[in-house]
């Protein structure tokens, strides 16, 4: 099947990604909706994929691998440190009332597990922060395919190191090596940057928000599947086999990216990876001299994205603790149902966004998504029964519609030659959100537990009023400017 045949069967959102390098009348009409300065489409993969997908399989496989590993390596840390310290007890559930004194050895195990988890997270974040901005800007000159292959192989190395630690019974400090290797390749943030930059390259402006939402729904679907598979598999067969699957997923993602993902940038033979120009390109992007005076808008939308993802990450970490403790006292099965209901918001938000776009501007869709998130957090903060908790999850059905809108608005503010640098920066912001959310919400929960258990969720709802106000103000200003221009 040739490219022209492929284009005929693809939906409009994906059509630009499979255009022939020789422009024709149809391609020119599509280019009218692309940002100015769009790079020449090139880089035919060895085996062009005839299906209406491009980078979705890469994102799915890497996200599935990551979501599968994260809870398992934390549990492995707990078990290994318990074994090293000679602790044979089990972690008490939140609904078990015991009048005895807490075991000091269990406290030491919990402390060391938390400490090593922090070390591993900070190692990956610190190294990845520098590397992902380097790789993102580099991909603007050499193509997106390499930006997808390199971090996928790095994530495979990380899984390989974890397996070596388990097989050889090495100290937990060796887990740090795997995280550093992944960080040196850009980590999962580089995969995010490559996938969203590819979407920015290949989608028309009018369909970009939905194209980005498809990628975010892919993240949710992979996370939901991994959360269901990981815990049950670990109980049945231990840690090693799930990590073999994680390794295979990352290798498959790298192979798929190299063989099937079409490059969207004309490679520059003189582009060097180790160059300070890549980081300077990121600084120029957000500098005061941004093209057309768009620097302030970039900062405002980035702030909105930071606050929204901060609440998403912080509340997600607390849901399980909230469900395990009184008065809900959920067991593992109910926690799994709750996790599945939470991840379903990705799919329902995708459907809701598609329907709402038929009659509303993207900004109003984002505001409705924030309203959905606020309503869900308010209900969950007061949830004392299972029915009320799932009511909160139901109200969350449109909560993930705001982030694709914000990503799309950021993408439309920059040139096509800056998409890699932009989404590398956005990925770093997203990673920073996870660290800040852990510090803020995990500190707030025990501090307010005996006053108002659901206060962190109420706090999250209040934070969301800030991006809602900014988005609403920018949209009202745009409408006023359009009215003045036509009057």
Give the pLDDT score at 266. 72
Domain with 383, as residue range(s), is: 289-487
Same domain, 313 and 246: no
Rounded to an integer, what is the distance from CA 394 to the centroid of its chain?
22
- The DSSP result for 36-88, as a single string, is TTPPPP----SS---SS-SSHHHHHHHHHHHHHHHHHHHHHHHHHHHHHHT--
User: Does residue 228 sit within a domain?
Assistant: yes
User: Does residue 10 sit within a domain?
Assistant: no
Same domain, 309 and 195: no
Give the pLDDT score at 131. 85
Same domain, 128 and 214: yes
User: Does residue 423 sit within a domain?
Assistant: yes
Give the pLDDT score at 44. 58
- For 25, counting Cβ atoms within 10 Å of its Cβ (0-12 exposed, 13-18 middle, 19+ buried), the class is exposed
Last residue of one domain, picked from the residues 271, 304, 324: 271
User: Does residue 114 sit within a domain?
Assistant: yes
Give the residue from 392, 394, 397 showing the smallest Cα distance to 353.
397
Peptide bond into 327 cis (omega under 30): yes
Contacts of 90 by beta carbon, 8 Å cutoff, 6+ apart? none
Alpha-carbon span 295 to 354, nearest angstrom: 29
Alpha-carbon span 351 to 398, nearest angstrom: 9
Copy the structure tokens of residue 277. 């120009």
User: Does residue 173 sit within a domain?
Assistant: yes
Last residue of one domain, picked from the residues 271, 303, 337: 271
Same domain, 304 and 450: yes
Q: What are phi and psi of 234, to 5 degrees?
A: -65, -40
User: Does residue 472 sit within a domain?
Assistant: yes
- CATH code at 395? 1.20.1250.20
Copy the structure tokens of residue 207. 């369909």
Give the residue from 21, 8, 6 showing the smallest Cα distance to 54.
6
Same domain, 267 and 126: yes
The total number of structural domains that make up the chain: 2
Give the pLDDT score at 446. 83
Same domain, 325 and 179: no
* Vertex 348 angle, CA 437 and 193, to 5°: 50
Same domain, 215 and 342: no
Alpha-carbon span 343 to 335, nearest angstrom: 12
Give the residue from 222, 241, 188 showing the smallest Cα distance to 72.
241
Alpha-carbon span 295 to 293, nearest angstrom: 6
Give me the tens of pLDDT residue by residue for the chain, a chain 487 residues long. Answer: 444 343 333 344 444 433 333 333 333 333 444 444 444 445 556 666 655 568 999 999 999 998 888 878 777 887 888 888 887 765 444 455 444 555 678 778 777 877 787 788 888 888 888 888 888 887 887 888 888 999 999 999 999 999 999 999 888 889 889 989 998 998 898 999 999 999 888 888 889 999 999 999 999 889 888 877 876 787 777 788 889 999 999 999 999 999 888 888 777 666 666 666 666 766 677 766 544 446 789 999 999 999 999 999 989 878 877 887 888 888 767 877 888 888 889 999 999 999 999 999 999 999 999 999 999 999 999 999 999 999 999 999 999 999 999 999 999 988 887 888 889 889 889 888 988 888 888 888 888 888 898 999 999 999 999 999 999 999 999 898 887 766 5
Last residue of one domain, picked from the residues 216, 238, 271: 271
Give the pLDDT score at 33. 44
User: Does residue 31 sit within a domain?
Assistant: no
Same domain, 239 and 319: no
Question: Is there a contact between 431 and 151 (Cβ–Cβ < 8 Å)?
Answer: no
Copy the structure tokens of residue 379. 């209900």
Same domain, 263 and 297: no
In three-state secondary structure terms, 13 is coil
Give the pLDDT score at 14. 41
Copy the structure tokens of residue 43. 């880089």
Same domain, 211 and 348: no
Same domain, 388 and 295: yes
User: Does residue 6 sit within a domain?
Assistant: no
Give the pLDDT score at 6. 36
Give the pLDDT score at 421. 85
Same domain, 256 and 374: no
């Amino acid at each position: 099947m040739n490219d022209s045949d492929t284009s005929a069967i693809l939906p409009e959102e994906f059509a630009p990604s499979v255009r022939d390098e020789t422009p024709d009348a149809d391609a020119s009409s599509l280019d009218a909706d692309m940002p100015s300065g769009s790079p020449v489409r090139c880089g035919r993969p060895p085996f062009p994929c005839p299906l209406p997908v491009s980078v979705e399989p890469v994102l799915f496989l890497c996200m599935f691998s990551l979501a599968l590993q994260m809870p398992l390596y934390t549990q492995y840390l707990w078990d290994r440190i318990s074994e090293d310290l000679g602790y044979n007890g089990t972690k008490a559930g939140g609904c078990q009332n015991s009048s005895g004194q807490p075991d000091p050895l269990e406290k030491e195990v919990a402390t060391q597990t938390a400490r090593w988890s922090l070390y591993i997270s900070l190692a990956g974040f610190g190294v990845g922060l520098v590397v992902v901005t380097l790789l993102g800007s580099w991909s603007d000159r050499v193509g997106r395919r390499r930006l997808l292959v390199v971090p996928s192989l790095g994530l495979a190395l990380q899984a390989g190191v974890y397996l070596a630690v388990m097989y050889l019974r090495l100290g937990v400090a060796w887990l740090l090596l795997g995280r550093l290797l992944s960080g040196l390749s850009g980590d999962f943030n580089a995969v995010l940057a490559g996938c969203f930059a590819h979407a920015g390259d290949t989608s028309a402006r009018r369909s970009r928000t939905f194209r980005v939402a498809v990628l975010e729904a892919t993240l949710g679907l992979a996370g939901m599947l991994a959360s269901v598979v990981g815990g049950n598999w670990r109980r049945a067969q231990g840690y090693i086999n799930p990590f073999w699957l994680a390794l295979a997923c990352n290798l498959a993602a790298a192979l798929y990216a190299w063989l099937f993902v079409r490059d969207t940038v004309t490679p520059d033979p003189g582009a060097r990876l180790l160059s300070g120009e890549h980081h300077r390109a990121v600084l120029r992007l957000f500098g005061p001299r941004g093209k057309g005076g768009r620097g302030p808008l970039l900062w405002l939308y980035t702030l909105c994205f930071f606050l929204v993802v901060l609440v998403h990450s912080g509340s997600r970490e607390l849901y399980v603790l909230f469900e395990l403790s009184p008065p809900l006292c959920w067991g593992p099965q109910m926690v799994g149902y709750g996790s599945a209901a939470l991840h379903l918001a990705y799919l329902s938000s995708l459907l809701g966004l598609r329907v709402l776009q038929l009659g509303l501007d993207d900004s109003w869709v984002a505001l409705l998504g924030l309203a959905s998130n606020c309503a869900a957090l308010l209900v969950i903060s007061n949830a004392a029964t299972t029915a009320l908790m799932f009511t909160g999850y139901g109200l969350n059905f449109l909560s993930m519609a705001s982030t694709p809108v914000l990503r799309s608005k950021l993408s439309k503010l920059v040139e096509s030659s800056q998409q890699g640098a932009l989404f590398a920066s956005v990925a770093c912001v997203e990673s920073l959100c996870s660290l800040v959310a852990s510090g803020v919400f995990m500190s707030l929960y025990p501090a307010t537990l005996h006053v108002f258990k659901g206060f962190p969720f109420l706090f999250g709802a209040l934070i969301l009023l800030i991006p809602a106000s900014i988005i609403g103000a920018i949209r009202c200003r745009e409408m006023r400017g359009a009215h003045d221009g036509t009057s």
